[in-house]
Amino acid sequence: MTTPETTTLTYRRDPSTPALTLPAGACDTHVHVFGPAARFLFAAARNFTPADAPKETLYALHKKLGIERCVIVQSAVHGTDNSAAEDAIAHGGGRYLGVALVPLSVTDAELARLAAAGFRGVRFNFMKHL
């Protein structure tokens, strides 16, 4: 296994414009937002460190591709602190919903708070590599 300090994943920062036009209401069903790390800290226990890929980058990509709706899935690199995804949902103009990463000890009050913030599902990590 690699350490977070030695493994940094990035993404294509200037994707090409597709030749096809997506249908109205097109939905991206699984994306992650990462950071910015200065504001949304990464979990100490993680398998990699991603490059910052904040909400503004996601919004710009979706505009370029013609994607109108999206499900943001909380990444394990942020652990159970769902604030980066929550921030992206809050500023997404009603086009974004989320799947939160929660601990087994999550309370009903926290689930209600997440639902009010735009999360519609939860995930758990039972596999050690995540």
Residue 62 CB coordination number (10 Å): 20
Q: Mean pLDDT by 10-residue block, N- to C-terminus, for the chain (130 residues)? A: 60 86 97 96 90 96 96 96 98 98 96 99 78
Q: What is the pLDDT of residue 120?
A: 99
- Residue spans per domain, the chain: 26-38+51-130
What is the Cα 6 distance to its own chain's centre? 22
CATH fold of 26-38+51-130: Rossmann fold (3.40.50)
